[in-house]
């Protein structure tokens, strides 16, 4: 099993969430986060003054999937989160040793 963490633009969350649901991926965790990547931030002007915003609002989606579905989920997220501009985000894939469903005690793939 693998944990997929995708950090994307907040404006793309609904597109990605709906695509994941259509693909049969029902369980996910979403967190509002702030960060910066290659672009380093943006410069905004307000009332004649410049402000550097170096931590931009993003959304982090966390999903645990079977190894066989990793590439499919990555492709789906990329397809639905991409704008072609700096700041589209990143996807991280992390090994998961065990999953336990608290309610039933099921383990492994059965707990997904």
Phi, psi of 68 (to 5 degrees): -65, -20
Q: Phi/psi class of residue 102: alpha, beta or left (left: φ > 0; alpha: ψ in -120 to 50)?
A: alpha
For each of the domains in the chain, give its residue range(s) and CATH number, in order of start.
2-111 (3.30.70.120)
By percentage, how much of the chain surpasses pLDDT 90? 72
Question: Model confidence over 51-97: pLDDT tens digits?
Answer: 878 888 999 999 999 999 999 999 999 999 999 998 899 999 999 99
**pLDDT reported for residue 66:** 93
- Give 69-94 as a DSSP string: GHHHHHHHHHHHH--SSTT-EEEEEE
Can you tell me the mean pLDDT for 9-32? 95
**pLDDT reported for residue 45:** 84
pTM of the model: 0.86
């Amino acid at each position: 099993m693998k944990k997929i963490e995708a950090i994307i633009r907040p404006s793309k969350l609904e597109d990605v969430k709906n695509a994941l649901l259509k693909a049969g991926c029902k369980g996910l965790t979403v967190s509002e986060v702030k960060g910066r990547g290659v672009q380093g931030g943006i410069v905004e002007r307000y009332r004649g003054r410049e402000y550097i915003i170096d931590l931009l609002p993003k959304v982090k989606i966390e999903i645990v999937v079977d190894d066989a579905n990793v590439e499919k989920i990555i492709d789906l997220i990329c397809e639905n989160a991409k704008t072609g501009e700096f700041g589209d985000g990143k996807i991280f894939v992390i090994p998961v040793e065990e999953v336990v469903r608290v309610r039933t005690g099921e383990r492994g793939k059965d707990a997904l």
